[in-house]
């Protein structure tokens, strides 16, 4: 019996040690909370208490993150644009938003190195590059629409962020939509900004998980939210150290990291304006035929509930699973998962 007990104990211990959470780590755009969480080992410290390992995956593109989640290779998207979530929902791939990351309105820009292009209207017939089926793609469509142009009026070439940057500074494309670090670096290489997302759309980066992960592991969701709260508090109390971590992680100067910080609105919850803009995004993407039907990524059918956290600050927290199941397993003190 003792031998059997020892074998069973070892089996249980092995299974506990083999638990692993796979998280995407797209450090660009400026996802400062995620950078702090990874470089300070905050998630590892929190989940080690339960014998759970954390594994980061450097997947930048929103579509690739979603594909990895759908394939069961990724549990948590550390930073994902809501445009990609909407497009995925149009294909019946539903992700649950558990936290917000930032509004990158002023660090998302349409840029050019062509001296003959003075305004957006000069882009007719020109070659433009940017990543597809994401916020950058949506911004391109928004810019064209506002200037009475369509995607058929330009030569659009889908490229990754890095490829767009290289093609733009090499003069192989006339313009490109860039974000964050690429915007900073492109300016140094002589590129000029034709427009940012400001006044055109409201970019939103969030943390998202699959429906199955949210239902199976609501306590893990709660722990992740708790750790991101800790990262936000660290940034507020130790901004200089946080920016030094970001500068090293992104391979940029401290001054550039500071510019990105000042021009990126870090958030942990979505405001009413953010939620309302989601509805506008869905309508626009449907109009542009990027989704075959109108979806509601905040509906209960998608296992996402919206709760008002603080009426004074007018903030909204989007939780992964129902309030009852979250509170039954985990309570975040001072966080947005509390029952108010």
pLDDT of 77 over the 50 cut: yes
Give the number of domains in the chain. Answer: 2
Kindly state the tokens that stand for 86: 């909407």
Same domain for 324 and 221: yes
Same domain for 284 and 241: yes
pLDDT of 324 over the 50 cut: no
Same domain for 306 and 213: yes
The owner of tokens 């002023």 is 106
Q: Residue 336 falls within a domain, yes or no?
A: no
Q: Residue 338 falls within a domain, yes or no?
A: no
User: pTM of the entire structure?
Assistant: 0.84
Same domain for 153 and 79: no
Same domain for 183 and 217: no
Same domain for 251 and 239: yes
pLDDT of 289 over the 70 cut: yes
Q: Which of 147, 172, 196 is the last residue of a domain?
A: 196
Q: Grade residue 2 by pLDDT with cuts at 50, 70 and 90.
A: low
Assess contact for 54 and 43: CB atoms under 8 A: yes
Q: Residue 339 falls within a domain, yes or no?
A: no
Find, among 145, 185, 193, the residue nearest to 165 by Cα: 185
Predicted pLDDT of residue 225: 92
Expressed as residue numbers, the domain containing 43 is 2-103+203-329
pLDDT of 7 over the 70 cut: no
Same domain for 179 and 126: yes
Same domain for 294 and 280: yes
Average pLDDT over residues 2-11: 46
CATH number of the domain to which 251 belongs: 3.40.190.10
Q: Residue 334 falls within a domain, yes or no?
A: no
Predicted pLDDT of residue 210: 87
Q: Residue 337 falls within a domain, yes or no?
A: no
Same domain for 84 and 215: yes
**Model confidence pLDDT, tens digit, residues 122-174:** 999 999 999 999 999 999 999 999 999 999 999 999 999 999 999 999 999 99
Same domain for 162 and 35: no
pLDDT of 34 over the 60 cut: yes
DSSP β-ladder status, 175-179 and 127-130: parallel
Same domain for 111 and 99: no
For 82, 138, 165, 283, 287, the CA distances from 292, given in Å and listed in that order, are: 17, 16, 31, 11, 9
Strands (E), the chain: 20-24, 53-57, 76-81, 95-103, 108-112, 127-130, 155-158, 175-179, 192-196, 205-210, 265-266, 270-271, 305-310, 315-319
For 246-250, 285-289, 312-316, which range has the lowest pLDDT when averaged over its residues?
A: 312-316
Predicted pLDDT of residue 175: 98
Q: Which of 196, 216, 247 is the last residue of a domain?
A: 196
Q: Which of 140, 166, 196 is the last residue of a domain?
A: 196
């Amino acid at each position: 019996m003792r031998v059997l007990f020892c074998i069973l104990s070892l089996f249980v211990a092995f299974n506990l040690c083999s638990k692993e959470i796979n998280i995407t780590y797209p450090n660009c755009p400026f996802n400062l909370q995620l950078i702090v969480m990874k470089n300070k080992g905050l998630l590892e410290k929190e989940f080690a208490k339960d014998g759970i390992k954390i594994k980061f995956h450097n997947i930048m593109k929103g579509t690739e993150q979603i594909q990895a989640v759908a394939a069961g290779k990724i549990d948590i998207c550390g930073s994902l644009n809501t445009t990609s979530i909407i497009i995925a929902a149009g294909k019946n791939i539903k992700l649950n938003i558990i936290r917000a990351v930032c509004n990158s309105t002023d660090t998302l820009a349409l840029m050019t190195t062509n001296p003959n292009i003075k305004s957006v209207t000069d882009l007719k017939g020109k070659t433009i590059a940017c990543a597809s089926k994401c916020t950058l793609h949506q911004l391109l469509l928004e810019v064209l629409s506002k200037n009475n142009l369509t995607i058929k009026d330009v030569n659009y070439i889908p490229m990754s962020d890095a490829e767009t940057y290289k093609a733009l500074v090499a003069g192989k494309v006339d313009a490109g939509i860039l974000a964050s670090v690429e915007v900073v670096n492109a300016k140094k290489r002589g590129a000029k900004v034709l427009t940012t997302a400001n006044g055109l759309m409201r970019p939103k980066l969030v943390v998202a998980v699959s429906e199955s992960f949210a239902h199976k592991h609501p306590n893990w969701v709660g722990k992740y939210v708790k750790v991101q709260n800790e990262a936000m508090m660290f940034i507020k109390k130790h901004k200089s150290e946080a920016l030094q971590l970001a500068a090293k992680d992104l391979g940029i100067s401290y001054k550039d990291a500071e510019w990105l910080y000042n021009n990126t609105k870090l958030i942990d919850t979505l405001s009413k304006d953010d939620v309302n803009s989601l509805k506008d995004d869905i309508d626009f993407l449907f109009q542009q035929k990027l989704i075959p039907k109108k979806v509601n990524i905040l509906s209960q059918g998608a296992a996402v509930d919206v709760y008002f956290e603080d009426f004074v600050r007018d903030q909204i927290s989007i939780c992964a699973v129902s309030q009852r199941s979250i509170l039954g397993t985990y309570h975040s003190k001072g966080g947005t998962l509390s029952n108010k």
